[in-house]
């Protein structure tokens, strides 16, 4: 029960979040762009430490499809890679 209260609190706070209207438009980066940015995210992160014009995540984007591509690119294909024969 003690673990459930912080989780429910975080879910309640997350439910208040919303995307600002007008930031999503048809020409925004989509799934493929998210996938590519996910692959290069570690390099982009290091670059962003030295140059403020480099971003790890594209804003604005088209929402769920970009996010899905980004997650797959950043490591979604590596799920289960730690299971190797010894």
- Give per-residue pLDDT as tens, 14-58: 777 666 666 566 678 889 998 999 889 889 999 999 998 888 888
Altogether, the residues listed in the chain come to a count of 86
Q: For residue 6, is it within any domain? A: no
pLDDT at 86 over 60: no
Q: For residue 15, is it within any domain? A: no
Count of structural domains within the chain: 1
Q: For residue 84, is it within any domain? A: no
Range of the domain at 51: 24-77
Angle 35-15-60 from CA coordinates, rounded to 5°: 35
Q: For residue 2, is it within any domain? A: no
Alpha-carbon gap, residue 86 to 76, rounded angstroms: 23
Contact 36, 72 (CB under 8 A): no
User: Three-class SS string for 32-63?
Assistant: HHHHHHHHCHHHHHHHHHHCCCCCCCCCCCCC
Q: For residue 7, is it within any domain? A: no
Q: For residue 4, is it within any domain? A: no
pTM recorded for the entire structure? 0.59
The Cβ of residue 60 has, within 10 Å, a number of other Cβ atoms equal to: 15
Q: For residue 40, is it within any domain? A: yes
């Amino acid at each position: 029960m003690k673990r459930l209260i912080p989780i429910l609190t975080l879910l309640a706070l997350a439910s208040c979040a919303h995307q600002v209207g007008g930031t999503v438009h048809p020409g925004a980066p989509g799934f493929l762009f998210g996938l590519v940015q996910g692959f290069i995210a570690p390099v982009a992160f290091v670059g962003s430490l030295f140059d403020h014009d480099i971003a790890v995540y594209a804003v604005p984007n088209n929402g769920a499809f970009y996010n899905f591509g980004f997650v797959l690119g950043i490591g979604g294909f590596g799920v289960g890679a730690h299971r190797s024969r010894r």
